[in-house]
Each structure stands twice: as structure tokens, then as C-alpha cells.
């Protein structure tokens, strides 16, 4: 097990930030860690990396207890915090060699050149970090996170502030690195999760509220609810309609189209209902919830 969390709790003052959360991540998984601001994402990551201590519970990296053996656990982790802490006056090679020395890496020069090439820093390799764009600074952050060839990567908002081209490059890089390592990363960008992740874990108010993996991750998180959009020639009796079909949700949008949320496809029954009530269906379609809708349902 690359990452293991059991009954993890953390308070800041009177505020319960983590509430008995449980999570396990296997080797080779790329897991998106989602949640609104203040949900507990960064706190969880800081506990896993040994930056913060939990009030209670267990956190393990590669079967090493972070609390009991923090140095050994950190040797298995590559960490990129939300605010990338780089030494701006150092040259790229100088900085990466400095980090490699801290980790006790053998053949430092060879390892530095390898990660520079791997993260696409070669065109900028002779510059000081302070002269780099935000995208290249993020590459430096990723380079220092993998310089010691860790088994686990923990990335906190790795694409914040990047332009669209930089986003594509960093996503591709994370995907490539994830072929060999376990990655846990937080983000607010829904499309990023669909593009990169094998699995999604959603945290809200200190609680894990959803966990899904496989294809169409967000649709799995939606509990397989179906959305229908129906336009009738005449208004319907909404209470009667809702009771007839035992609907979870029925709303009428600004264009006069009824939006129906149901647990199974009821389009044929709606046709029969229209006939029985002397109404006419002008349009009817089935649609999937978008990622933002599902996220809001889980965290609102």
C-alpha cells in the first residue's frame, strides 16, 4: 500500500479540519484529491508529508508510519506544495544538485541531468530560477520532487496559475510520471481530473464524501442519476407529474423546459403521460450531468 490513512483527525483551535478520514491508495494509481477551499486537502497532504502532525489516527507512506518514522517516510515521498518554495537566486542545476544532496542521491550530476531532460527543462537549464516563467518554475518543482526517485508523489495544486499551453504540458508530464509512481494531487480543475486520474477522492468539511475510479469517473460519482429535458406544448401539473413518477427533482428553466432527475430512464412513460393528459411533447432529450454539477452536489 503506497498511501494509507486510518481515522485521521486534525483540529485548528475549535475547528475540526479532518474528521476520522480513511483512505488507501495502491501503487501505480493517479488519484485526484478534490474539494472546496478549506475542505482539508492541503492539511491531509501536509500530514502525509510530515509537515503537520495529526491529532489522532494513522498515516503511512509505503507501510512506514509517518509519525513514528518521519525521516524514512519522507525518503519515499516527492512533494510539491501549493506555493512552490524555490530559491530564485540559484541556477536550475545548482538547486537540483542541492536538493539531491539533501536526499543523499548517488551520482548527483547524472541524476540532475536526467530529471532536467525528463521534465522538459533543457531549453532553460542554464538560467536562474528567478528568470523562469511560472510554467518552467513548476517544472523545477516537479524535478526536485522526483530527483531522489521516490515511490510516491504528493502534488498540491500543481497547475495553479498556468496558461493553457503550460497546463497541457504539465498534465502530460504528470501522466507520464504516473506510469511508474503513485501520485496524489489536489486540484480545482475538473477537466484536469478527467484527463489525468485513474481515481477521484472528494473531501468536504473534513469528511471523505465520494471515492470512484474507472472510466467516466464523475458520472460514477453522480450515483447514476439520469437527467431528462422535456419541452411540452402546454404547462403540466408539476405536483401531479412529480408524484406520478416519484421524481428526485423537477425544475422548469427560463426557456420553459422541464429538467427531470430520475433513477431510471422514464422517457417512454412520459410519452404515455402526455397522451393521457392531452399534451404534446415538443422536444425531449437525455443528458449527463457535467463535472461541475456533480462536484457541487457532493460539496454544496
Provide the residue ranges of all domains of the chain, joining segments of one domain with +. Answer: 3-221, 226-299
Averaged confidence pLDDT in the chain: 89
Q: Look up residue 111 and give its three cell numbers.
A: 541524476
pLDDT of residue 114: 94
What average pLDDT score do residues 119-147 get? 93
What average pLDDT score do residues 219-242 get? 82
Evaluate if residue 138 carries a pLDDT over 60.
yes
Evaluate if residue 24 carries a pLDDT over 60.
yes
pLDDT digits (tens, 9 = 90+) for 240-258: 998 899 887 899 998 899 9
Same fold, 3-221 and 226-299: no
Reply yes or no on domain 3-221 having CATH 3.40.50.1820.
no
pLDDT digits (tens, 9 = 90+) for 110-128: 999 999 998 989 999 999 9
As a CATH number, domain 226-299 is: 3.30.70
Amino acid at each position: 500500500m503506497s498511501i494509507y490513512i486510518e481515522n485521521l483527525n486534525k483540529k485548528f483551535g475549535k475547528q475540526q479540519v479532518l474528521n476520522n478520514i480513511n483512505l488507501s491508495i495502491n501503487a501505480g494509481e493517479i488519484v485526484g484529491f478534490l474539494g472546496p477551499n478549506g475542505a482539508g486537502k492541503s492539511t491531509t497532504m501536509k500530514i502525509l508529508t510530515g509537515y503537520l502532525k495529526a491529532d489522532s489516527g494513522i498515516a503511512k507512506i509505503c507501510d512506514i508510519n509517518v509519525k513514528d518514522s518521519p525521516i524514512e517516510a519522507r525518503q519515499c515521498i516527492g512533494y510539491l506544495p501549493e506555493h512552490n518554495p524555490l530559491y530564485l537566486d540559484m541556477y536550475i542545476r545548482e538547486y537540483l544538485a542541492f536538493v539531491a544532496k539533501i536526499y543523499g542521491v548517488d551520482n548527483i550530476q547524472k541524476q540532475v541531468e536526467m530529471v532536467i531532460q525528463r521534465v522538459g527543462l533543457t531549453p532553460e537549464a542554464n538560467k536562474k530560477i528567478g528568470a523562469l516563467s511560472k510554467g518552467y518554475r513548476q517544472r523545477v518543482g516537479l524535478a526536485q520532487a522526483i530527483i531522489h526517485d521516490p515511490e510516491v508523489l504528493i502534488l498540491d495544486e500543481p497547475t495553479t496559475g498556468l496558461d493553457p499551453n503550460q497546463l497541457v504540458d504539465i498534465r502530460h508530464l504528470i501522466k507520464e510520471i504516473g506510469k511508474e509512481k503513485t501520485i496524489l494531487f489536489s486540484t480545482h480543475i475538473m477537466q484536469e481530473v478527467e484527463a489525468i486520474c485513474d481515481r477521484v477522492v472528494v473531501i468536504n468539511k473534513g469528511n471523505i464524501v465520494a471515492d470512484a475510479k474507472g472510466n467516466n469517473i464523475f458520472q460514477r460519482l453522480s450515483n447514476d442519476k439520469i437527467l431528462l429535458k422535456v419541452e411540452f406544448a402546454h404547462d403540466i401539473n408539476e405536483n401531479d407529474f412529480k408524484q406520478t413518477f416519484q421524481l428526485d427533482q423537477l425544475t422548469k428553466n427560463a426557456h420553459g423546459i422541464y429538467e427531470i432527475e430520475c433513477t431510471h430512464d422514464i422517457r417512454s412513460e412520459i410519452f404515455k403521460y402526455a397522451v393521457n393528459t392531452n399534451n404534446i411533447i415538443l422536444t425531449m432529450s437525455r443528458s449527463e450531468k457535467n463535472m461541475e454539477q456533480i462536484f457541487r452536489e457532493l460539496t454544496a
